Structure 1
Amino acid sequence: EVVLQALAGAAGFAVDNARLYEQARRRQRWLEASGEVTSKLLGGTNPGDVLQLIADRAIELTGADYGFVAMPDGVDVGDEPSELVVTVCAGPDCGVRLGHRIPVDESTSGLAFRERTPREVPSLRHDLVEGRGSGFGPALAVPMRAGDTIVGVVITVREHGAPRFDEQELRVVSSFADQAALALRQAESQLAHRELHMLADRDRIARDLHDHVIQRLFAIGLTMQGTHRLSRNPVVIRRLADHIDQLHEVIQEIRTAIFDLHTNTGTDIGLRAQLHTAINQLTEDSGVRATTRMTGPLDVLPATLAEHVLAAVRESVSNAVRHAGTDEIWVTVTVADDVSVEVLDAGVGIADGITQSGLRNLSQRAAQAGGYSLVHRRAEGGTRFFWSAPLP
C-alpha cells in the first residue's frame, strides 16, 4: 500500500510537471508568435501577409484544424458593421472563398466583435464554409482589441468530435490577438508618419513640375504655334502640327504624374476609399456629376489587382470628363466571381477607330491579369468602357 501511495504521488507530481511544462511551452510559443507578428509589421511587411501569419500562428497555439481572420469591410469610422469579411484562411483545404461574409447579428464571431469578449463554443452559429452541413466543431472567436478599437476577429475551429478548447487556450489566443491588433495599429501609425514626409516630397516635386516644367513646355508650344501660322510649306506645317499635338500629350502626361503625386495610394487605405478619392478629384470643378456604385469586398483584393482596378477607373473617368462632353457619368465597380469596372456617359461617344495610349495601357493591364477591356459607342448615345479580370 505504501508503494502504491508513493507511485500515485509520483504520478501526480509527474502529471503536474507535464501540465506546467505544457503551459510554459504554450506561453513561449505565444511570445514567439507575438514577436514575429510585431517584427513583420514594423519591418514593413504587407499587412495582408501578416494577417495570414496571424491565422497560421493561431492554429499552432491552439492545435486547431482551421484558422480565420474576419474584419469589417467598407464601414465608415464610428459606424457599426453589419457583416465581417473573411480576409485570410489557414489550414488544409480550408475552402473559404476570399471575401466570405459573416453576419454580425447571427454569428459567434459577430457577437465576439460586438461585445469585445472572447468566446469559446461547442460549434459556430454561422457556417464559414458552404456545403459543410452543420459546420465545424469546437471554436474560439476572439476579438482583436487595440484600445477602444476592434480591428477584427481571430477564429480557430476544430472538426466535429474533437475536444473543446480549454481556458488556457482561450487566454493564449486572446492575448495573441490583442498583441497583434496593437502591432497593426502601431505599424499604421509609423506608416502614417513616414507618409507625411513622403507627401511633403511629393508636393515639392509636383510644384516644381507645374511651376517650371509645364510652363516652359507651354512657352515652347506657343512659339511652335506661331511658327506654324507663319509657315507656307505644307510639309513643315504638317510636321509642326504633329509636334504640337505630341507636346500637348506630354503636358497631359506630366499633369497626370502631378495628380498621382498628390494622390495617396498607400496600402493602408482600402481600395474602396482610393476609388472614391480618385473619382472625386477627377470630377471636381469639371461640371460632371459622377454616380458611383461599388459592390463586393474590394478592400481584400490582392495589391496588384487593386492597382489595375484603380488605374482602370482613373483612365476611364478622366477620358469621360475630358472628352465626352457630358454633365453626368456612371461608375460601377463590382467584385463577384471576377472584378469589373464599367463607366458610362451620355456624351458625344468615342470616335470610331480611336486609339489612346491610356486605353492601350488598360488593355495590357487586363491581359496581364487574365482579363479584357473594351470601349465602344452606346446605342442610346455616349460611350461605354468596360474592364474585367478574374479573381486569383
Structure 2
Amino acid sequence: MAAAGGAVSLQGLVKEYDDVRAVDGLSLEIGAGEFFSLLGESGCGKTTTLRMIAGFEEPTEGEILLDGTDLTSVAAHKRPVNTVFQSYALFPFMTVAENVAFGLRYQKAGRGEQSSRVNAALELVELEKLAKRKPHQLSGGQQQRVALARALVLEPRVLLLDEPLGALDARLRKALQRELRALHDRVGTTFIYVTHDQEEALTMSDRLAVIVDGRVEQVGTPSEVYAEPASAYVATFLGQATLFDAVPAGAGPEPGLAAYRVGEQTLHVDGPPATGDPVRLMVRPERVELAPASAPLEGVNVFPATVESMTYQGAQTSVRVAAAGLRVEAEVANMHGSAPDWLVAGGPVCLRISSTALRVLDR
C-alpha cells in the first residue's frame, strides 16, 4: 500500500507569527521509509513544523522538498502526504468502511478499486471484521486505527502523525505504540511523528530530532541520543540523569583517563587530559553501580556513600546516594520482588561511577 519514495528535506524552515518565531531555521533530512520522530516540549515548534510539511501553514522562510521536489508553495490537498491527528475526526453517521473510503471519492477511484483499497487498509489495522460498525460502537484505540486506515488508504508517500495517541490511557498507549511501529514496518511508508513523550519516541523511532525553541538540538537514533546527548538539556529531557558541574583537572591516574574536579571529589572520564573551560559531567542512573559497604568495588571513581532515599519501582529500586558532596541517582535490580538486604535507607554502600559511564557536556 505504500507509495514509492518519501524522502523529506527541510531546509532552513522559519515560521513567524507577528513578532514570535515559532520555528527558527530548522533543517532536517528524513529518509524514505523512516519512522522519524520530532520530540520536544509543548510550544517548541514541532507541531508547527509538521503543519508546514502538510501544507496547513506556509513557511516564512525555507524550503520543503519531497523526493527532491519543492512543495513549499504546493496546496495542502495536492501534496502526497496525509495527517493523523490526536482527535480522530470520524464521521459519526458513517460506518468504519465509509469513513475509510471517504477520501477516495476525490481520487476518482472506481467502485471496485475503492472497495479493494478499503479492505486492504482495514486489514492493515486489523479492523476488517468491524467494517460495518459506527464510530460510537468502537473503543478509543479502535477509532484511532480507523483514522490511520483512512490516511493510509490514500497511499501517501509520507504519513504525518501529530500526537495521535495523546488522548488514550497509559495502558492502551503502550499497546498502540507497538501496533503503530508494526504497521509502519508492514507498509514501509515514511512516518513523521510528533510527540512530547520521551519513552514513545525512544521505543518507536528509527531516528528522532529533539526540538528546542524552534531549532534542532540533536538528531540521531534513540540509542545515540540517549547515550550520547549533545547538551545538558537533551540529557535531562530524554530520561533520567545526574549532572555534575566540573572543572578540567588534567590527566587521570592511568593513560587514557581525564580528570575533573567536582566539588571535593575528582572524577575520571575516558579521554585525553582535561583542559579548558568548566563543563558538565552526565551519568545515567542505570550506569551507576552500588555494592555492599562490606564488599567494596575496585577501580576509579569508587567512593564510600550513604543511602539518602529509596523508591520502589517494581523491577528495580531507585536510590539516591551521597558521597562527600556528590549526590547521585542510581538503580538497583530487585531480587525476588524487593531490594537487596544490604540496601537500606540511611545505610552505607560502596558507589562506583565507571569512567566509561560519564559523558562530558558543555556547561
Q: Which TM-score tier does this pair reach, normalised by the shorter chain?
A: under 0.3
Q: Which has the larger radius of gyration?
A: 1
Q: Structure 1-normalised TM-score?
A: 0.22
Greater strand percent: which structure? 2
Greater helix percent: which structure? 1
Q: Which has the higher contact order (CA 8 A, sep 6+)?
A: 2
Q: Structure 2-normalised TM-score?
A: 0.23
